[in-house]
Amino acid sequence: MKLLPLLAALPLLCASVVHANSLMSVGYFNGGGDVTAGPGGDINTLDVRQITHLNYSFGLIYNDEKDETNEALKDTSRLHQIYLSPKVASDLALIPTLRKQNPNLKVLLSIGGWGARGFSGAASTPETRAIFIRSAQAIVEKYGLDGIDLDWEFPVNGAWGLVASKPEDRDNFTRLLQEMRNAFGQKKLVTIAVGANAESPKSWVDVKAIAPLLDYINLMTYDMAYGTQYFNANLYDSSSWPTVAAADKYSVDFVVNNYLAAGLKPQQMNLGIGFYGRVPKRSVEPGIDWSKPDAQANPVTKPYFGSQEIDLFKSLGYDLTKDTYVKYNDIVKVFLQDPQKRFTQHWDDEAKVPWLGINSADGKTLFALSYENPRSVAIKADYIKAKGLAGAMFWEYGADNNNELARQLATSLGIKPAQ
């Protein structure tokens, strides 16, 4: 899709005006509405004085994808419209009360998330896009929101086949964002979240075309502890805990530079910070180098967790056969307070992040969990300022420990808490 030359030359509009003299802290809050995101948190316990923007997650999309399991989303009379679960709708009705904590708070509804269906279909034609946009406008007006955030994380790719996708997604996404901007004008925020994968700015999202249409773009610079990578969100590469497969060699800096190379300006992006940790996949399943012929039959690493380690995590409430995601508040209250002291804290001064180790039966230190803490968050804030980025985004507020990471982020970015 070719945009008008004038449009392509426009600067990033709202972000360049509204946030010219300040940095952003955009906090996602998992209120519910998507079973893949886990149970929703309690909005009444949320402290929004440390952030500038709240992305309430998630609204979903009525769709006709064959693998949709949520019966509520199969209503054909509402195809391509936005669905709000009863809890999400009741929470959004409380936004005026929440704003009393922080009168300057901007509140957006985030639509989508990991595994969310319906984007490819809703973006397909002018008619389907119009249905979707009218639905978004109605929600923004009804609940007095400041805008919409789209978390179509894997256009074209379809989350490696998990959701419907097609090659036209890239251009259809641009068309959808153009038409949303036309519909909302400059009085409402239109933002997106994009994946860390190196292919995203190359072939999934037309970065140069969409940047002028958006107030800012949130980079999901986390969830890297897959394949043969140890760290969830290492700022730089680690020589102590290196990857094996070259294709897995991800870092926050690598992702940022990929988007810069694709044409995104520093002031157009927020750096994503995970308020959680991950057990590296290579600890529980073989690491594969997919660039090698017959790769699946020849793994390049072996799992080093046995039944002892798996059972340890299970006793703490985490089944690693289902998920490797560990909330920061559990890391602080459960893992670091383990009365048997089975976890040891470490710091990787190259990666600039902490990690937890556990001892194997033969006394060897095993890499157990990569996460963020106040020290690593402060360093990422310094990186944001050094790179000239717009600010930070984090997932998600309900996983914080008494606002510890949100407070550190605000302090390091120079954001004064609302009084």
Choose among 308, 199, 207: nearest CA to 264.
Answer: 207
C-alpha–C-alpha distance, residues 224 and 207, integer Å: 21
pLDDT in tens, 63-80: 999 999 999 999 999 999
C-alpha–C-alpha distance, residues 288 and 414, integer Å: 42
Is the domain of 72 the same as that of 211? yes
| Residue 32: predicted pLDDT | 83
Number of domains forming the structure of the chain: 2
Task: Print the SS3 string covering 366-380.
Answer: EEEEECCCHHHHHHH
Lowest average pLDDT, out of 14-23, 121-130, 160-169, goes to: 14-23
Does some domain include residue 244? no
Q: What is the mean pLDDT of residues 202-211?
A: 97
Q: Which CATH number covers residue 352?
A: 3.10.50.10
pLDDT in tens, 98-139: 999 999 999 999 999 999 999 999 999 999 999 999 999 999
Q: What is the mean pLDDT of residues 253-279?
A: 98
| Residue 15: predicted pLDDT | 38
**Does position 33 have pLDDT exceeding 70, yes or no?**
no
Is the domain of 145 the same as that of 186? yes
| Residue 9: predicted pLDDT | 35
Is the domain of 389 the same as that of 361? no
Tokens of 117: 């269906």
Does some domain include residue 346? yes
Is the domain of 139 the same as that of 196? yes
**Does position 5 have pLDDT exceeding 50, yes or no?**
no
Is the domain of 25 the same as that of 123? yes
C-alpha–C-alpha distance, residues 402 and 333, integer Å: 11
Is the domain of 181 the same as that of 271? yes
**Does position 203 have pLDDT exceeding 70, yes or no?**
yes
| Residue 8: predicted pLDDT | 34
Does some domain include residue 241? no
Angstrom distances, CA of residue 173 to CA of 79, 126, 181: 18, 12, 12
C-alpha–C-alpha distance, residues 37 and 168, integer Å: 27
Query: To 10 degrees, what angle do helices 169-184 and 126-143 make?
Result: 40
| Residue 361: predicted pLDDT | 83
pLDDT-derived band at 295 (thresholds 50, 70, 90) equals: confident
Is the domain of 93 the same as that of 203? yes
pLDDT-derived band at 292 (thresholds 50, 70, 90) equals: confident
Q: Which CATH number covers residue 56?
A: 3.20.20.80
Task: Say what percent of the chain tops pLDDT 90.
Answer: 89
Q: What is the DSSP letter of 3?
A: -
Does some domain include residue 243? no
| Residue 157: predicted pLDDT | 96
Choose among 143, 131, 171, 134: nearest CA to 155.
Answer: 171
Q: What is the mean pLDDT of residues 6-31?
A: 61
Q: What is the number of alpha carbons within 13 Å of residue 339 lying toward its C-beta? A: 0
Does some domain include residue 245? no
| Residue 34: predicted pLDDT | 52
| Residue 2: predicted pLDDT | 34
Is the domain of 100 the same as that of 188? yes
**Does position 373 have pLDDT exceeding 60, yes or no?**
yes
**Does position 37 have pLDDT exceeding 60, yes or no?**
no
Lowest average pLDDT, out of 17-26, 82-91, 118-127, goes to: 17-26
Does some domain include residue 76? yes
| Residue 4: predicted pLDDT | 36
Does some domain include residue 147? yes
Contact between residue 291 and residue 230 where contact means Cβ atoms under 8 Å apart: no
Is the domain of 338 the same as that of 405? no
Angstrom distances, CA of residue 59 to CA of 84, 168, 301: 5, 24, 39
The pLDDT mean for the chain works out to: 93
| Residue 293: predicted pLDDT | 86
Lowest average pLDDT, out of 66-75, 291-300, 375-384, goes to: 291-300
What is the value of pTM for the model shown? 0.93
**Does position 7 have pLDDT exceeding 70, yes or no?**
no
pLDDT in tens, 315-363: 999 999 999 999 999 999 999 999 999 999 999 999 999 999 999 888 8
Is the domain of 309 the same as that of 406? no
Does some domain include residue 419? no
Q: Which of 347, 368, 389 is the last residue of a domain?
A: 368
Domain that holds residue 197: 5-220+265-275+372-413
Is the domain of 164 the same as that of 212? yes
Is the domain of 364 the same as that of 402? no
pLDDT-derived band at 38 (thresholds 50, 70, 90) equals: low
